Chain A
Amino acid sequence: MSRFLLAKVIPALALALFVVLMNSGTVLKTYGLADPVPPYFERIAMLISQDQWPVAGENAKRLEVAWRKVVRRLQFSEERDEINNFRHSLARLQGYIAAEDRGGALAELKELEETWEDLGK
């Protein structure tokens, strides 16, 4: 192995890989997903405003499944607290939907959306 490759090329590539990995959150949170997270925010908000609580509850569960898939990709680049915030907010949203509390559910949904926007920044 040449000295140039060992001393310059490999370190430069390694550093570039690290930078990409640490900043991959913005791209990975939506790229190539069969069931992306963002459409759920609007859909669930609409269902809540129409008082369709059982359907909203089902969608919240599907949102949780979609989130679990995304979090596997995001965990290496994002803050643990933001990831946990999203999870806790989602649990509270499901609680509000079960209680059919429109104000609380919409507030949690807004918080989820905001947390989602912050991921990768």
Chain B
Amino acid sequence: MNEAAVVFVRGLISFFTLLIFARILGKQQVSELTFFDYILGITIGSIAASLTTDLSSRAWPHWVGLATWTAAVWFLQWITLRSRAVAKYINGEPVILIMNGQIMERNLRKMRYTLDELLMQLRHQNIFDLKTVEFAILETNGSISVLRKSQYAPVTPDDLNIPTKYKGLSTELIYDGRIIDANLERVNLDRTWLEKQLSAQGIQNHREVFLALLNTEGELYVNRYQDRLPKVTDLSDFQSIK
């Protein structure tokens, strides 16, 4: 028995199974995970690790374990989308930690959230004075959402009655030296227009371009492979460390 070969094959099975199962479970970001989701992720990962390296048992039972946990998570996701009550039980509910500048100590204790953690989270949001906070809410994923008191909220163009132009998503027209014709068509433009625009920026061939984006105001952003900077700032000080 060649143990390394077996681990290699089981590793491939485990890796691609995990990849496929993760795709089935969706695109939830790590920052949006609840504590329970986090534990589920660790457990599934641990089963996948056993599937790879635990040669004292067959691969199949581990794989069934992996599939069972994935199916259970998928079922929970399915049921939480359909039942608000179940979703609240599984994911928990947001809790108010600060109200009108006052810290809700009971809620802090209930959520096992320390004052230091609360202050740190507020500082992350550029809040250094508690009296500026109308509401601070502990979300189910452990992050804090803050609503400032209206007198301390930043001024927006709307407050000053300043008209603004619409801003939407930019469209990729060139990526990695290749023109994306489907996107050009979507914005009712063609290659001739694009080539004219590039030529106006001194670019003779679209293959010189790494990325070209068209924003909703009709402006073309072009990034070439060859950067035209006199000197590129290097943040690394690795060489100076002795």
Q: Does A11 contact B (CB under 8 A)?
A: yes
Cβ A76 vs Cβ B20 within 8 A: no
Q: List 22 A-B contacts (CB under 8 A).
A: A7-B23, A11-B20, A11-B23, A14-B16, A15-B17, A18-B17, A21-B9, A22-B13, A22-B59, A23-B60, A25-B58, A75-B2, A75-B5, A76-B10, A77-B60, A78-B58, A79-B55, A79-B57, A80-B1, A80-B3, A80-B56, A84-B1
Residues of A within 8 A of B (CB): 7, 11, 14-15, 18-19, 21-23, 25, 71, 75-81, 83-84
The 6 A-B residue pairs whose C-beta atoms are closest, nearest first, are: A80-B55, A22-B60, A11-B20, A22-B59, A75-B1, A18-B13
Cβ A79 vs Cβ B20 within 8 A: no
Cβ B1 vs Cβ A83 within 8 A: yes
Give the chain B neighbours of A75 by CB distance below 8 A.
1-2, 5-6
| Chain B residue with Cβ nearest A81 | B56
A7 to B24: give the CA distance in the assembly, Å: 10
| Chain A residue with Cβ nearest B60 | A22
A99 to B85: give the CA distance in the assembly, Å: 73
Cβ A22 vs Cβ B20 within 8 A: no
Q: Does B135 contact A (CB under 8 A)?
A: no
